[in-house]
Amino acid sequence: MNSSRYFALIPAAGIGARIGADIPKQYMPLAGQPMLMHVLDTFAAAGAISHVFVVVSADDGYIADLMAAAPHLQGRVTLLFHGGATRRDSVLNGLQAIREEVGDDDWVLVHDAARPGLTCALIERLVETLRDDLVGGLLALPVVDTLKRGDQNARVAQTVERAELWAAQTPQMFRYGLLLRALTLAEAVTDEASAVEQLGLQPRLVEGSPRNFKVTLPHDVALAEMFLKEKF
């Protein structure tokens, strides 16, 4: 089992409508380079990762320029022009596209292109924690805020008990064969762990970092740049 390899799979076919940019969110400039480049550089520098696959839309007009500006990624990153309508579709299409290159027992780390704050240390923590796990798991953060469930009038309907609640992050790491089966069978899931849960399995939670948040709204950009400019 310990001879298994580790592959990164980055779905990057979305348009990021909520951030209100003129270009897809993953290509927005952030701390001096496109957001996606930060993610690719981190995985390319991670010693455990054998190769990086990026799933983009068939008509992506930005990825060629990004790769042309990054000769250091040649040989470490492969583009897959198989993006789908949803994250689940893109990841599943990507898994099917790499079928000949990845074994069923190899690990796949699926990571959001809009989480540029990922570090090699976080990847190492995830890999070291899960390398012998029978299911796999994901980076996540324990919820510390008081949670309220609202009604249709934006009034508090209930205070939700936060004990044992975690906010999911990525990478989410599962063996290729298991993840392919889970996503093939899954319906209406927003992350890979949910698909695995639908098989009756329990992914392991590995503590992540606040810096590994998802850039979603315009005000997230400044926060992401602050983290990226820190030394770590």
Pairing of strands 166-175, 107-110: antiparallel
173: nearest Cα among 59, 56, 9, 2? 9
Q: What is the pLDDT of residues 169-226, one digit of tens each?
A: 999 999 999 999 999 999 889 999 999 999 999 999 999 999 999 998 877 887 788 8
Q: Measured between alpha carbons, how far is 149 from 160 in angstroms, rounded to an integer? A: 7
- Which residues are CB-contacts of 25 (< 8 A; sequence separation ≥ 6)? 14, 15, 16, 19, 35, 113, 114, 215
Q: Which pLDDT value is given to residue 16?
A: 55
The pLDDT of 107-117, averaged and rounded, is: 96
What is the CATH code for 6-228?
Answer: 3.90.550.10
Q: Which helix (H) or strand (E) holds 140?
A: strand 137-142
- pTM to 2 decimal places: 0.93
**Average pLDDT of span 161-167:** 94
The pLDDT, as a whole number, for residue 3 is: 84
> What pLDDT score was predicted for residue 15?
67
208: number of CA atoms within 13 Å, CB side?
26
| DSSP H or E stretch at residue 177 | helix 176-185
Do 53 and 11 meet the contact criterion of CB atoms below 8 Å apart? no
Residue 29 has pLDDT above 80, yes or no: yes
